[in-house]
Chains A and B, each alone.
Chain A
Amino acid sequence: MIRLEDVGYVYPGGVEALRGVSLTIGERSSLAIMGRSGAGKTTLIKHLNGLLKPTSGRVTVDGVDTRKATVAKLSRKVGIVFQNPDHQLFAETVEDEVAFPLKNFGFPQDEIKARTEWVLELFNLTRYRKHSPLTLSGGEKKRVAMASIVSWKPKYLVLDEPTLGQDRENKLRLRELFEEFMEEGRTIIMVTHDVEFAAECGFDVALLVDGKVSALGSAREILSNVELLKKASLAAPQMAELFLELEGVEAQPVFTVEEAERLILSRLMSGSGRP
């Protein structure tokens, strides 16, 4: 379990990025941290592996205060994929990039090989294995960055904007991976602006506004609340927006195309079609 207790963080320049964040992230759970640019989302996740230590309050990972453990130690449990892959990638080839943390954590040789193959395939990167990560497109670099963290299967997988530059097929693969990880008892935490993806993954949502958690609940609850979303500079998923436009704030929360189709068909059947 990761616990944030009244966490405040002030950058050395004086910018107050977090102002009393309290969150409990349990095992086998999934949490999307959402909010406008500058709300403190990235600052918050940097606290999860001790990269940043709170200026006030406290963060514990499985009971260990992040102030009392090294980042190297915490990283084995909490793997963070940052928003910008250029901050993370450095190896000569995609394959070396992915294998590096595994070597670092002392995995046996055959295990390194097997896991490298697995993530390269999972993230659609096998054909680039001998390429330099720097020649890849933004979306591909992002997948290399994710592959190199997913490979060691951290107990807490933290991803900053995982769907950045990803097509539909890669998003579906990501979703399957999340489900597999959660079944294995792992926890997924993602920072995202991708409301459609958060809604279809069914994550819990913590809405961050000005360095504070302004709302916490299911994706369904949070992502259909127009007032809340506006405060966080988010738009509802397109299906939810459609029904808001048709039926106003009383609209039932609808997130997927399938749900929308069912609802429209049932309205037509019952003849109570009046919006």
Chain B
Amino acid sequence: MKTEMAAIEIRNLTYKYQNAEAPVLQNLNLTIEKGEFALVSGPSGCGKTTLCRCLNGLIPHFYGGELEGEIFVDGLNVRETPPAKLASHVGLIFQNPENQLFSFNVERDVAFGLENLGVPPEEIRRRVDWSLELVGISDLKDRAPWELSGGQQQKAAIACVLAMQPSIIVFDEPTSFLDPLTARGIFDVIAKLRRKLDLTVVVVEHRLEALAAHASRLILMDHGKIILNGEPRKILAEAAERLSLKVGIPSVILLHRRLSKLGILEGLTPLTTSEMAAQLRGVLNRD
């Protein structure tokens, strides 16, 4: 049964892994609208990865455990929907690309999901080429995944999910294995795809400096709960005040905060170096 609702809707979610003493998610509520770019962050162990696993049905269908509350993704009740069906609605990119690749060459890996869905061969070819091109690894399509570096592997994993053209893509620290400039390229691609294809994007990341400017929303978690949720600029300003050990606050924001306290700057919290540079120019050029 599919009903018209937000892209992701979570109500009173509490989840405990099998044999664990304490729940890792506690009474969590979250609504993400269609077309949003939600960035999720928080200290290691706060439940970010567990939340991602709830969105594509790995929890509870694979991990078991005790789940209370409701999770709706693209209108589907995750608890009642088989993972195979969920796969064409929501794609998940893991922290570790090796968990996602298994074929003898990249092209076959990217085609695999589409073959399973019974997509016609011509369309498969088109979509495989398209997604490899998007992540910039067309030249690697004949290579075996184990011959690739970590970064190249993650790009192949992203291509696999892109090829399925789901309406929601969840990225669990997708740039962990990528060098910074390549990571920026990937984030630009994600942002572009989201606009072009009307995707809903959820990205879990520690490095906020590369992503905060892309996101429509920032969600901060701690101890299995959402502690801050809102417009990235506002949330980061607040987090810089009291959460700087738990969340990697971009250094432009820390600098801005110091200079604001000294009465030197009074503009908005900057999300990028360019925004910060513009404010500083204003002050340094003043006579």
Chain A residues in contact with chain B, CB under 8 A?
A: 11, 13, 15, 35-39, 42, 83-84, 86, 124, 131, 135-140, 143, 161, 164-170, 172, 193, 195-196, 230, 232-235, 237-239, 241-242, 245-246, 256-257, 260-261, 264-265, 267-268, 273-275
Contacts of A246 in B (CB 8 A): 277, 280-281, 284
Encode contact with A along B80-102: 1 for CB under 8 Å, 0 otherwise.
00000000000000011011000
Q: Is the CB of A242 within 8 A of B276?
A: yes
Q: Is the CB of A233 within 8 A of B182?
A: yes
CA distance A137 to B178 in the complex (A): 19
| 26 A-B residue pairings within 8 Å (CB atoms) | A37-B178, A37-B182, A124-B44, A137-B49, A138-B173, A139-B206, A140-B44, A167-B206, A167-B248, A193-B183, A195-B180, A235-B184, A237-B251, A238-B209, A238-B273, A242-B276, A242-B277, A257-B254, A257-B255, A257-B258, A264-B264, A265-B264, A274-B284, A275-B280, A275-B281, A275-B284
Q: Is the CB of A273 within 8 A of B152?
A: no
B94 CB, nearest partner CB in chain A, Å: 8
Give the nearest-CB partner of A163 in chain B.
Answer: B206
Decide yes or no whether B244 CB sits under 8 A from chain A. yes
B85 CB, nearest partner CB in chain A, Å: 26
Give the nearest-CB partner of B184 in chain A.
Answer: A235
CA distance A23 to B179 in the complex (A): 22
CA distance A54 to B248 in the complex (A): 39
Contacts of A161 in B (CB 8 A): 176-177
Q: Is the CB of B176 within 8 A of A164?
A: yes
Contacts of A264 in B (CB 8 A): 259, 264, 280, 284
Chain B residues in contact with chain A, CB under 8 A?
A: 17, 20, 42-45, 48-50, 95-96, 98-99, 144, 147-152, 172-173, 176-184, 206, 209, 244-252, 254-255, 258-259, 262, 264, 273-274, 276-277, 280-281, 283-286
Q: Is the CB of A138 within 8 A of B95?
A: yes
B188 CB, nearest partner CB in chain A, Å: 13
CA distance A170 to B206 in the complex (A): 12
Q: Is the CB of A267 within 8 A of B284?
A: yes
Q: Output the residue of B99, B255, B285 with the most chain A CB within 10 A.
A: B255
Contacts of B245 in A (CB 8 A): 167-169, 172
Contacts of A131 in B (CB 8 A): 20
CA distance A193 to B179 in the complex (A): 5
Give which listed residue, B45, B148, B209, B250, contacts A139 with CB less than 8 A: B45
CA distance A273 to B281 in the complex (A): 9
CA distance A140 to B173 in the complex (A): 13
Contacts of A241 in B (CB 8 A): 273
Q: Is the CB of B276 within 8 A of A86?
A: no
A86-B99, A273-B283 known; A167+B43 contact, CB < 8 A: yes
A37-B179, A233-B181, A241-B273 known; A137+B44 contact, CB < 8 A: yes
Give which listed residue, A38, A230, A238, contacts B152 with CB less than 8 A: A38
Give the nearest-CB partner of A195 in chain B.
Answer: B180
CA distance A138 to B47 in the complex (A): 11
B248 CB, nearest partner CB in chain A, Å: 6
Known contacts A138-B95, A168-B244, A232-B179; 17 further A-B pairs (Cβ under 8 A): A36-B179, A37-B182, A124-B44, A138-B173, A164-B177, A169-B43, A233-B179, A234-B179, A238-B250, A238-B273, A239-B251, A242-B276, A245-B274, A246-B284, A257-B258, A264-B280, A273-B283
CA distance A168 to B144 in the complex (A): 36
A230 CB, nearest partner CB in chain B, Å: 8
B260 CB, nearest partner CB in chain A, Å: 11
Q: Is the CB of A37 within 8 A of B273?
A: no
B2 CB, nearest partner CB in chain A, Å: 31
Closest 5 CB pairs of A and B: A37-B151, A273-B284, A138-B95, A139-B44, A38-B149
Q: Is the CB of A238 within 8 A of B251?
A: yes
Give the nearest-CB partner of B274 in chain A.
Answer: A245
Q: Is the CB of B251 within 8 A of A257?
A: yes
Contacts of A143 in B (CB 8 A): 44
CA distance A230 to B150 in the complex (A): 19
Contacts of A42 in B (CB 8 A): 149-150
Contacts of B276 in A (CB 8 A): 242
Q: Is the CB of B209 within 8 A of A193?
A: no
CA distance A257 to B280 in the complex (A): 14
CA distance A166 to B48 in the complex (A): 13
Contacts of A230 in B (CB 8 A): 181
A130 CB, nearest partner CB in chain B, Å: 9
A257-B255, A273-B283 known; A170+B44 contact, CB < 8 A: yes
Q: Is the CB of A11 within 8 A of B284?
A: no
CA distance A131 to B45 in the complex (A): 13
Contacts of B180 in A (CB 8 A): 193, 195, 233-235
Contacts of A261 in B (CB 8 A): 255, 258-259
Q: Is the CB of A196 within 8 A of B264?
A: no
Q: Is the CB of B285 within 8 A of A274?
A: yes
CA distance A268 to B172 in the complex (A): 43
CA distance A165 to B46 in the complex (A): 12
Contacts of A234 in B (CB 8 A): 179-181
